[in-house]
Chain A
């Protein structure tokens, strides 16, 4: 056990079990009749405050406290005035700011005045003689412990649980399965995922439209070095598809590269230098929307996964693992960009069944 060389302040009565020393020896460093540790010198002498000895100082403190409380009342009036002064019917930012500042600073004064006044009062005018209270061990005496143990024993005996094992076993079994219905009841909080984490609205023939104005896109609209944020056509608020849920999987981008820059693997699904990718991060689903055209990098602002556009959106940095799925594109009879198939992979974050 640990040797505690200095156990406790000399002269203190030791409550049971309160000694830090274990079963080890206490090293006796007594020499020349000296105690093995210093004595606690006891509370230092009380030093009177200005207000204790000087009537004028006490008066001054009293006035200061009263001023604090008076300022608090002023604060309440400022709040009330501020409340009525600015009406917030279609407010400008300046009006809202005035209202917020007046009401807020008034409230600050109201509260802070009371607080500072009360504390100042306690510090300067209430007695500051330190007082001593003795602690008592929380632990019960052996008699009380024995009594408590007896009570519990009697209770258990009277219940008969020891003599009737069938009751104990059946109760244990019942309690063990009781949580199951409770968990089951939570199952209807939502449907099963089915295949919906893998699918999106993108399929052959779906037009690409701009986000947020939902206009179709001509291939010639997109210059080299530009990026267009796209959605599948038909995804509108109140439409046949649930808007935000489908948008969370279908949000995508189209970029134009020089034709020869397009990665070999991406070429069949590109259209004369135009390539489209899901912009839902394969890490945690944020929008990978930061396009650096000088380095052909797509960056996610949440956790900074970086994707190389020239390498079919392979991950080059950060916590994502899978590349952004490519969206195969072409043009329809009117010259507008359309998807020529579904996304070439699962958009968004990974999950167990993804494989």
Chain B
């Protein structure tokens, strides 16, 4: 490698750019890198930009966050406020709160940066979730991308923690109440809860130790871990090359799109500025988290509608709907199931299911192949149904987290909403699953219908015998391909429970589970049309098809409308 640098290329470097290029290449092997990557192909689709929204929001969070650290004081020590915001003067508030109020009111661009930071945080987590949903519903988590899916789930989880940490740092009344709840969740942990709470908070809640500790976690520990995971996430995207939607010319062995240089550099680079611009626009025009109105944290006052940011809302909702009778006193000890189940077990289970899902599906399908072509959600009806079921489950929890705001704005009762969601949480998701799956199967049948009988034209004509028909136009090869390209799966067949010698085969019970699971996935699958089926359909409807296919019919039999 190094010898090439010494050897002059075709003539010694002439211009400054040549010299710079030579400098970089001889030290970094830049030419090799550019040759290998600058013309890499990326497929183009709007839904592929959702992950970029998350990535760019994260970068914006780093930039605006650095600005905020220049002014924020991570200290919970109470001081008598004497800053720029007049209504708070003379009150005892923490230095953290005082500095956050002052950076909002006394630093030019300070409020803007705080609002950029907060909006970017909300959008970061939201974009992460939407991106995850896209990956899930299109089956992009399948081999070889299972590990990247797991990294993504971890990132989503860390994003929520990181967001909560940031929400808590200003030490205002709202965020202090959030920390109060966090401390109660720690206290509820069996056996070690009270000790852990005292270690985390450096003594009794709230204490003065926690804010500086949380600051280190928020600006150093979590961002560093997330940055490493993001680097891994992106590395794997490059290694696997991006997935693509099915379509003419797209196969499992190629990737069709535009080269990194210049098209994707301009599009993706430009999109960073667009994301930053949109967030700046929101920060300029929409107020978020007006902490100076909340007052500093004090355990006695509280505000109606004390809520966490949206991404913690589902946990708030689950805690609100859990009845208190789950708190048990056993043998002189207290087991606070009313906190543990909704606040720790439930999110733990959700995370576990998400992490395991790629392997669950793999096991059910027996499909160990690589998949680089995305599924249209309708072509994986069970997965799509499960995904919608999960989202509905999440949505019900989330809605109950805002039940007080819903109650006041829709003239309802919080008690009624909570009771309704207690029932809905168990009833509605399965219904959502069934309905979604039926819709997918219906769409698949419609796709078959279109392939077999062509597309409706909206033109109606009458035969000599008086029969009225709608003219169907055959699909082009490109149009048809989208509807027939996917793999059709049927359930795993049951092997005999006993072998040839009448001995029970080992592992039959597990295989039974697997068979049922596979049947659950593919028992009612709709298979794509085969050329033979299409030919058969043409044969059956020959007369009909002939009419459709010939142009002169159009002239001989003028279309009539039902208006006549």
Contact = CB atoms under 8 A, between A and B. Distances in A.
Contacts of A243: 78, 92
A196 to B, nearest CB: 6
Interface in A48-98: 83, 86-91, 96
B462 interface: no
B112 to A, nearest CB: 5
The CB with the most chain B CB atoms within 10 A, among A36, A197, A303, is that of: A303
B527 interface: yes
A285 B180 contact: yes
B368 A22 contact: yes
B210 to A, nearest CB: 10
Interface stretch (A186-194, A216-224, A336-344): A186-194
Contact of B200 (A17, A189, A285): A189
Interface in B154-189: 177, 180-181, 183-185, 187-189
A302 B255 contact: no
Contacts of A8: 251-252
Contact of A119 (B195, B257, B266, B299): B266
Interface stretch (B126-134, B452-460, B479-487): B479-487
B312 to A, nearest CB: 12
Contacts of A19: 369
B232 interface: no
B414 interface: yes
Interface stretch (B18-26, B488-496, B500-508): B488-496
A271 B373 CA distance: 76
Contacts of A321: 324-327, 336, 338
Interface string B268-286: 0111111111101101110
B254 interface: yes
A87 B108 CA distance: 7
Given A83-B108, A107-B280, A133-B41, A20 B367 contact: yes
Given A40-B251, A101-B285, A317-B415, A137 B370 contact: yes
Interface stretch (B6-14, B201-209, B428-436, B437-445): B201-209
Interface in A313-337: 315, 317-322
Interface in A112-127: 112-119, 121-123, 126-127
B253 A193 contact: no
B194 interface: yes
Main SS of the interface on chain A?
loop
B258 A128 contact: yes
A118 B277 contact: no
B273 A111 contact: yes
A190 B298 contact: no
A103 B418 contact: no
B284 A101 contact: yes
B82 to A, nearest CB: 12
Given A40-B251, A118-B273, A244 B302 contact: no
Contacts of B271: 115, 119
A134 interface: yes
Nearest to A243: B78
B530 A248 contact: no
Interface string B105-132: 1111101100100000000000000000
Nearest to A236: B92
B532 to A, nearest CB: 4
B489 A116 contact: no
Given A37-B484, A191-B198, A318-B324, A304 B414 contact: yes
Nearest to B144: A138
Interface in B488-532: 488-493, 518, 522, 527-532
B334 A351 contact: yes
Contact of B266 (A1, A43, A121, A211): A121
Interface in A158-198: 186-187, 189-193, 196-197
Interface string A18-48: 1111101000011110111111111110000
B477 interface: yes
Interface in B244-264: 248-259, 262-264
Contacts of A302: 177, 181, 302, 306, 316
Nearest to B207: A245
A119 B262 CA distance: 11
Given A6-B487, A304-B414, A134 B254 contact: yes
A20 B371 contact: yes
Nearest to B183: A285
Contacts of B111: 96, 99-100
A280 B480 CA distance: 66
A314 B480 CA distance: 67
The CB with the most chain B CB atoms within 10 A, among A2, A112, A131, A251, is that of: A2
B108 A301 contact: no
Contact of A319 (B105, B319, B370): B319
A229 interface: yes
Contact of B180 (A189, A193, A284): A284
A247 interface: yes
A9 B252 contact: yes
Contacts of A118: 266-267, 269-270, 273
B239 interface: yes
B33 interface: no
Nearest to A42: B249
Contacts of B104: 96
A228 interface: no
A265 interface: no
A192 B195 contact: yes
B106 A88 contact: yes
B218 interface: no
B285 A211 contact: no
B208 to A, nearest CB: 9
A17 B253 CA distance: 12
A283 B183 CA distance: 11
A105 interface: yes
Contacts of A30: 532
Nearest to B189: A352
A166 to B, nearest CB: 36
A104 B367 contact: no
B518 A191 contact: no
Given A104-B285, A111-B276, A319-B338, A303 B266 contact: no
A35 B488 contact: no
A344 to B, nearest CB: 17
Nearest to A133: B41
B304 A301 contact: yes
Interface in A278-304: 279-280, 283-287, 289-290, 301-304
Contacts of A121: 266, 270
A88 B367 contact: no
A352 B190 contact: yes
Contacts of A287: 299-302
B78 A126 contact: no
B40 interface: yes
A71 to B, nearest CB: 11
Nearest to B248: A41
Q: Top 10 closest A-B pairs, CB basis?
A: A104-B284, A118-B270, A112-B277, A115-B273, A43-B249, A115-B274, A321-B327, A122-B266, A20-B369, A111-B277
Interface of A: 1-9, 12-13, 15, 17-22, 24, 29-32, 34-44, 83, 86-91, 96, 99-101, 103-105, 107-119, 121-123, 126-128, 130-135, 137-138, 186-187, 189-193, 196-197, 211-212, 229, 231, 237-238, 242-245, 247-249, 251, 279-280, 283-287, 289-290, 301-305, 315, 317-322, 348-355
Given A86-B108, A111-B273, 10 more contacts: A43-B249, A99-B109, A104-B115, A118-B269, A126-B258, A132-B41, A304-B414, A319-B322, A350-B334, A352-B333
19 contacts: A2-B367, A17-B368, A104-B284, A104-B285, A112-B277, A115-B274, A118-B270, A127-B263, A131-B257, A131-B259, A132-B255, A137-B370, A190-B198, A190-B201, A192-B195, A317-B415, A319-B339, A321-B325, A351-B197
